[in-house]
């Protein structure tokens, strides 16, 4: 059975890139969200195996969303997506429970490596 992924990013273009990389490699995209608040609701509704989560988003940022998702499901698997130069936020996200991080612009091999490690 394919690994189910929820893709979270406020930029539709970035969501499309992640979806494209993952769906071409056998992952099932079960949903997408444009901010952390929507991500939390969709996580509870869809119960994905993995979440790719942008850090900087309106309404609820990725770090807060990771904390809330981990509160609801301590076994949740989340990979953070960050722009260059966000090391402090990446560290905070890992401390909040994220499994790994990938840096924009996305390198398909790195995205797949992070996903495999997180769900493996």
Q: What is the pLDDT along the chain (120 residues), one digit of tens a residue?
A: 899 999 999 999 999 999 999 999 999 999 999 999 999 999 999 999 999 999 999 999 999 999 999 999 999 999 999 887 778 888 899 999 999 999 988 899 999 999 999 998
pLDDT of residue 117: 95
Which residues, listed in sequence order, are joined to residue 8 by a DSSP beta bridge? 33, 53
Radius of gyration of the chain measured on its C-alpha atoms: 12
- Rounded Cα distance, 95 and 84, in Å: 19
DSSP string, 31-95: EEESSHHHHHHHHHHH--SEEEEESS-SSS-HHHHHHHHHHH-TT--EEEEE-TT-HHHHHHHHH
pLDDT of residue 25: 97
Task: Give the global pTM.
Answer: 0.94
């Amino acid at each position: 059975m394919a690994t189910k992924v929820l893709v979270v990013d406020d930029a539709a273009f970035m969501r499309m890139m992640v979806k494209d990389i993952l769906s071409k490699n056998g992952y099932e995209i079960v949903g997408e969200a444009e901010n952390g608040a929507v991500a939390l609701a969709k996580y509870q509704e869809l119960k994905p195996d993995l979440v790719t989560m942008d850090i900087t988003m309106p309404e609820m940022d990725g770090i807060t969303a990771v904390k809330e998702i981990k509160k609801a499901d301590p076994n949740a698997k989340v990979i953070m997506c960050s722009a260059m130069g966000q090391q402090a936020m990446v560290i905070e996200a890992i401390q909040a429970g994220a499994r790994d991080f990938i840096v924009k612009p996305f390198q398909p091999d790195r995205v797949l490596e992070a996903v495999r490690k997180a769900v493996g």
